[in-house]
Amino acid sequence: MDSADFLIIGGGVAGLSAGARLARHGRVVVLEAEEALGFHSSGRSATFSHYGIGNHVVRVLTEHSRRFFLETDGGALARSSTALYVATAEMRSTLDALAETMAAFTDTGHMAREAEMLDLFPPLRTGGDAIVAGLVYPDGLRLDSDAMLQHFARTIRTAGGAVLTRQRIARIGEGWTAETEAGERWTAPVLINAAGAWADRIAELAGVAPLGLTPKRRTIIVVDPPAGANVRGWPFVKTVMDDFYILPESGRLMASPVDEIASDPCDAQPEEYDIALTAAKVEEYTTLSVARIAHRWAGLRTFTADRTPAAGFDTEAPGFLWLAGQGGFGLQTAPAMAEAVEALVTGSPWPGALAADGVTAAELDPARLR
């Protein structure tokens, strides 16, 4: 048996970022079931940080994570990228509402006419029943998920902790002691459940009542751009209602129908219907013709009932801390969430920047879900 001060189950961005903060206070051990970090969600994300998704709590967490991305490792974790939110005539009122909401977090957004939208993203289908209005946000961030995961893991290891893969948990005892399927045992007074889609199952292994988390599958495809087009400077384009997004990816274009298909925790794979739907959305919202699909994949996003992340100790299980339900915004909120976890675990002051914007520990407390 090996011991730690903080035992974290889950090697995605949530668990690793929290572990990197807690490494300042004691020995951290992260146990990841798969062979690679961030295998199911963090590594299958669109990796774009923006204010166009989530509720007020999510947007505050996003805002207070930006400095970390821009300043850490000389800015290697992120690069500036424009977002363009678009609307059909039926979506116009939703676009106006988003502009008003975003104004509380940024003063750089502005409404765009057709000419500007086409200048930013030439294949956009405009006019008539297609796109008639847009909102430009020039201060989005394209995140490097692998660089983030490796940064957090390196921070933990440098402080004397451990980040271990292929550690599937078989049972958890009070104390807390986690035993893997291979018979290895780890113990710590604080266990942080950051197991993503498997968080409820980990809780049940520990004898803790689940929160009712819901994993949802999302499909992504990669298609070819117009011949000769240099897409690197093209924006992240998203319908203001959750129907479609597209953005550059390694010289091609990555697209999704923003689908949320309820799923059991699993290694999510794209289904043929969802692949075909995505291709149809590309042709509906752009002038691109999908002659072939270069890549396709699916990932899980796990939500709480109110779509606000959960971070806090379980009231019925001392030392058992929930860190779950980051949905599709786990990457862009990870640094702020990690600060919140640090305060909860160590008893240090709650981050003042979060409190100033109305996000308290109670907003994240998992007890609200019971």
Q: What percent of the chain has pLDDT over 90?
A: 97
Domains contained in the chain, number: 2
| 287 in the same domain as 244 | yes
Q: The domain spanning residue 295 has which CATH number?
A: 3.30.9.10
Asked whether residue 66 is domain-assigned, the answer is: no
Query: If we measure between CA atoms, which residue out of 174, 166, 147, 202 comes closest to residue 34?
Result: 166
DSSP 8-state secondary structure symbol assigned to residue 289: -
Torsion sign (Cα): 92, 236, 290, 294: negative
The predicted pLDDT at position 190 comes to 98
| 314 in the same domain as 262 | no
Residue range 229-240: average pLDDT?
Answer: 96
| 270 in the same domain as 222 | yes
Q: pLDDT tens for residues 292-327?
A: 999 999 999 999 999 999 999 999 999 999 999 999
| 22 in the same domain as 8 | yes
Q: pLDDT tens for residues 4-55?
A: 999 999 999 999 999 999 999 999 999 999 999 999 998 888 899 999 999 9
Query: Do residues 299 and 45 make contact, with C-beta atoms less than 8 angstroms apart?
Result: yes
Q: Which amino acid is at 24?
A: R
| 150 in the same domain as 120 | no
Query: If we measure between CA atoms, which residue out of 200, 178, 172, 176 comes closest to residue 188?
Result: 176
Residue 88 makes CB contacts below 8 A (sequence gap 6+) with: 129, 130, 131, 132, 239
Query: Do residues 319 and 311 make contact, with C-beta atoms less than 8 angstroms apart?
Result: no
| 288 in the same domain as 157 | no
Chain-centroid distance, C-alpha 265: 16
Which structural domain, as residue segments, surrounds residue 102? 80-141+214-303
Residue range 274-288: average pLDDT?
Answer: 98
Full-model pTM: 0.95
Residue 228 makes CB contacts below 8 A (sequence gap 6+) with: none
Query: If we measure between CA atoms, which residue out of 339, 346, 329 comes closest to residue 68?
Result: 339
Cα-Cα-Cα-Cα dihedral of 191, 158, 45, 98, to 10°?
A: 80
Query: Do residues 338 and 20 make contact, with C-beta atoms less than 8 angstroms apart?
Result: yes
Residue range 114-129: average pLDDT?
Answer: 96
Asked whether residue 315 is domain-assigned, the answer is: yes
Asked whether residue 50 is domain-assigned, the answer is: no
Confidence of residue 370 (pLDDT cuts 50, 70, 90): confident
Confidence of residue 174 (pLDDT cuts 50, 70, 90): confident
Asked whether residue 49 is domain-assigned, the answer is: no
